[in-house]
Structure 1
Amino acid sequence: MKSRVHPTYKTHYRVGNWRVYERALVSRGDVTLWLSPGARAAWIVPPSGRPGGQQRFSNLAIETALTLRLVFRLPLRQTEGFVRSILTVMRAGLDAPDHTTLSRRSQRLDVTVGNLPAKGPLHLIVDSTGLSAVGEEEWAAVKHGGNGTRGWKKLHLGVDRSGVIVAHLLTEATVDDATVGIHLIGATAGDVTSVTADAAYDTVAFYEAAGARDAQVVVPPTRTAKVSRRGPRSSARDRTITDVERLGRRHWKKASGYHRQARVENAFFRYKSIIGDRLRARSRGGREAEASLACRVLNRMTALGRPESSAINR
């Protein structure tokens, strides 16, 4: 898709720390693997002494295997063999979880996305994208001679201005973006200075959720938006509508800093380039764990180095 902004009005940027950022990009492809003494000790779960089947592998072992699966885009059986070969080369004396265990345990895995420490006030930018998913119903339809259709899920991300993922949620494709945006605002830790999103989030409830966090809202109003005539429903939204009518939509976007919304678009580009544009898991819990692990991977890659760019006056 071509840019809608005329080349004359496009802002050009220059990366000031290119040497450092280039080394960080190279480090993202480093496949050096190791297990710390703590990870070796926590790989196997000791017997609990309770009757019934015992868990053999810890959540750490399951998360490690599923993370490698995401990064290298492997099916579960190949993931089992890949992890076993790594442990053999390391002479770690540990076994790898089998593919059945990985599939079953991923459905109840509680994954925490490690956020990087903020360097200043948090400017939250939210948006959503679609990820294709084939579930049990579609698979069964194909198996029994029907026409299985590929379903879609929505991945909602909240990032800061440096591209770090600070909040995320995986939902059905029919869920309203603005409703999930309210959840992302509430799930974001720390002080939120501003919230930026596209026109799909132009609702009074979204403004109220941001106002509850004392955050400025940078959301372009819809084309048919009008100032409230029946009392002050959202004075912040009314001011935005008035400013857009007075300045024009393009000048308002430039004056308000709306162009930073591209940060979340870049996060989606990195997600689909590195992880892929589909969900591999078929269960709901497995898909949620997969999305959380993917966000953790992207944050760890971002932690290796981020570009420091500045606008060029032309």
Structure 2
Amino acid sequence: MPHKFNAARREKIPKQKYRVTNWTEYNESLRRRGDLTVWISDDALGLWSAPRRTTRGGQRTYSDLAIEICLTLSAVYKQQLRQTQGFMRSIATLLGVEIAVPEFSTLSRRGKGLTLPATRKTDRSDPVHLVVDSTGLKVFGEGEWLEQKHKTSRKRRSWRKLHLGLDLVSGEIVCSDLTKDDVGDSTALPVLLDQVDGPVSHFLAGGAYDGEPTSDLLAARFGSTIEDTIPTPINAIMSPNAAQDPTARDGHITEIAARGRMAWQKATGYNQRSRGETLVGRWKVVIGSKLKTRTFENQKAEVRIGVPVLNRMTGLGCPSFERTA
């Protein structure tokens, strides 16, 4: 966290206070998150059945859209697949539509190779101000408390690592990935950048992304004009050619040494990285801090479903703030 460099005097730093200026609109957006018409439309029900295939093989009963709708309802209302099957069956009965509801085993099997539309839906000509962050998601298996209490060994990995990329301009998630817990943040970065289909003008990330590999990767993908704001460690040293050809990292080191880390954060806009941490908190509250599925491929599909869910909720409306103190 950025404030760890000021832990000794943290209590002396006044906390900023804000108030929401659009409570009416924001309250309505929160209500609409539970509206079934937001997640299920008449057009979607009309495309419930899979199109007739022209190649050899068995004919699928349900379209990818039908599977996506069921998995979306599972994520929004935090239900297991069996409960989702019953929930969708009751919706079809109440709406009076004659559709076959996929079984839970079908949802699990079809979710692995489910193809979803592109994450970003905003104008691609607008450059992305990208902030990336990662967090751990709990999976099935014995927990850490059981391991410490009874000295048992874990039979399976207890965590998966979720990587998210947020566009500060639109507020949408533009890239995501789920990896095993032994994959570092900088190692997962190339996969995230492959999902960004537009120009990136600014990149913010934590100290885990510090280093030449990240800078070279950003320059190769988005050009040398990209501005990257990554904090350097306390013991960071300048590059060998800093006197003749200083890099952006050299500039950060000099600025932090001259003005202090907090002033550097304010001057470079690094404080906006807190929105990435807020996104992680939203994911754990809305989608959940634990993965429901068991296999790694199904867990990746679960994350792919969660991304458009959060983006849809963002599109319904977000709070606007103004500082009061």
If the length of structure 2 is used for normalisation, what is the TM-score? 0.84
Query: Where does residue 56 of structure 1 map in the other structure?
Result: 61
Cα separation, 1, equivalents of 2:196 and 2:136? 22
Q: 1:49 Cα deviation (Å)?
A: 6.2
* One-letter amino acid of the structure 2 residue matched with residue 253 of structure 1: Q
Query: Where does residue 286 of structure 1 map in the other structure?
Result: 298
Checking the alignment, whether the CA contact within 8 Å between 1:133 and 1:282 is kept in structure 2 is yes
Residue 225, structure 1, aligned to residue 231, structure 2:
no
Query: Where does residue 33 of structure 2 map in the other structure?
Result: 28
Q: 1:299 Cα deviation (Å)?
A: 0.3
Checking the alignment, whether the CA contact within 8 Å between 2:20 and 2:319 is kept in structure 1 is yes
Q: 1:31 Cα deviation (Å)?
A: 3.6
Query: Where does residue 138 of structure 2 map in the other structure?
Result: 132
Query: Where does residue 138 of structure 1 map in the other structure?
Result: none
Residue 85, structure 1, aligned to residue 85, structure 2:
no
Query: Where does residue 193 of structure 2 map in the other structure?
Result: 185
Map 1:69-218 to 2 at 5 A. 69-117=74-122, 121-134=127-140, 148-161=155-168, 163-212=171-220, 213=222, 214-218=225-229
Of 158-167 and 215-224, deviating more is: 158-167
**SS class of match (1:289):** helix
Task: State the superposition RMSD in angstroms.
Answer: 2.7
Residue 295, structure 1, aligned to residue 307, structure 2:
yes
Of 228-237 and 59-68, deviating more is: 228-237
Residues 183-236 of structure 1, C-alpha deviation per residue, up to 9 Å, x if partnerless?
423432222121111111111121223334232111110122110125789711
The alpha-carbon distance between structure 1 residues 123 and 50, as it changes in their structure 2 partners (threshold 3 A), is closer
The share of aligned pairs that are identical, in percent, is: 38
Q: 1:246 aligns with which of 230, 236, 258?
A: 258
Checking the alignment, whether the CA contact within 8 Å between 2:53 and 2:59 is kept in structure 1 is yes
Cα separation, 1, equivalents of 2:39 and 2:178? 31
* One-letter amino acid of the structure 2 residue matched with residue 235 of structure 1: T
Checking the alignment, whether the CA contact within 8 Å between 1:131 and 1:154 is kept in structure 2 is yes
The alpha-carbon distance between structure 1 residues 33 and 308, as it changes in their structure 2 partners (threshold 3 A), is closer
Checking the alignment, whether the CA contact within 8 Å between 1:163 and 1:263 is kept in structure 2 is no
Residue 42, structure 1, aligned to residue 47, structure 2:
yes
Q: 1:132 Cα deviation (Å)?
A: 1.5
Query: Where does residue 140 of structure 1 map in the other structure?
Result: none
Q: 1:41 Cα deviation (Å)?
A: 3.1
Checking the alignment, whether the CA contact within 8 Å between 1:106 and 1:289 is kept in structure 2 is yes
Q: 1:164 Cα deviation (Å)?
A: 1.6
* One-letter amino acid of the structure 2 residue matched with residue 222 of structure 1: P
**SS class of match (2:114):** coil
* One-letter amino acid of the structure 1 residue matched with residue 15 of structure 2: K
Checking the alignment, whether the CA contact within 8 Å between 1:125 and 1:160 is kept in structure 2 is yes
Cα separation, 1, equivalents of 2:311 and 2:189? 20
Cα separation, 2, equivalents of 1:121 and 1:101? 40
Cα separation, 2, equivalents of 1:116 and 1:263? 20
Q: 1:33 Cα deviation (Å)?
A: 6.3
Checking the alignment, whether the CA contact within 8 Å between 2:126 and 2:199 is kept in structure 1 is no
Query: Where does residue 142 of structure 1 map in the other structure?
Result: none
The alpha-carbon distance between structure 1 residues 266 and 146, as it changes in their structure 2 partners (threshold 3 A), is closer
Residues 100-149 of structure 1, C-alpha deviation per residue, up to 9 Å, x if partnerless?
111111111122354342695421110100111238xxxxxxxxx98644
If the length of structure 1 is used for normalisation, what is the TM-score? 0.86
Cα separation, 1, equivalents of 2:49 and 2:246? 55
Runs of 5+ consecutive residues of structure 2 not aligned to the other structure: 142-151
**SS class of match (1:217):** strand
**SS class of match (2:13):** helix
Cα separation, 2, equivalents of 1:51 and 1:87? 31
Q: 1:11 Cα deviation (Å)?
A: 3.2
The alpha-carbon distance between structure 1 residues 91 and 34, as it changes in their structure 2 partners (threshold 3 A), is farther
**SS class of match (1:174):** coil
How many residue pairs match? The answer is 303
**SS class of match (1:272):** helix
